[in-house]
Amino acid sequence: DAGVIQSPRHEVTEMGQEVTLRCKPISGHNSLFWYRQTMMRGLELLIYFNNNVPIDDSGMPEDRFSAKMPNASFSTLKIQPSEPRDSAVYFCASRDNRAGVYSNQPQHFGDGTRLSIL
């Protein structure tokens, strides 16, 4: 079975440019999560969706960040304009909630996108 697919795996761009990260969740999973990982702050949840609807975006750092989930099989995280402090590994994860929020189903992570803003 295909896991969570993220693209690109690596992105290097200059500050001020728009960056778009993409995620395809596992088929049938109805929750999707975006995380950011840095040495200083560890793993932080940015936003998550249930059934394509954003539920909690309290972790989104500022207005420069936006996320969409137009359908059950695709999500994007956009940074515009990008800044050097946005450099991090961005993970997408998905989860099957059909057994309920409190089931033992884990979140399954993609391989991440390593983003470097020069």
Partner 1 sequence: AQKITQTQPGMFVQEKEAVTLDCTYDTSDPSYGLFWYKQPSSGEMIFLIYQGSYDQQNATEGRYSLNFQKARKSANLVISASQLGDSAMYFCAMRQTGGGNKLTFGTGTQLKVEL
Name which of 14 and 98 has its Cβ closer to partner 1.
Answer: 98
Residues 23-42 binding partner 1 (CB under 8 A) are: 31, 33, 42
Q: Spell out the SS3 assignment of 18-70.
A: CEEEEEECCCCCCEEEEEEEECCCEEEEEEEEECCEEEECCCCCCCCEEEEEE
Contact map string, positions 51 to 70, toward partner 1, x by CB under 8 A = ----xx--------------
- CB 89 to partner 1: min, Å: 7
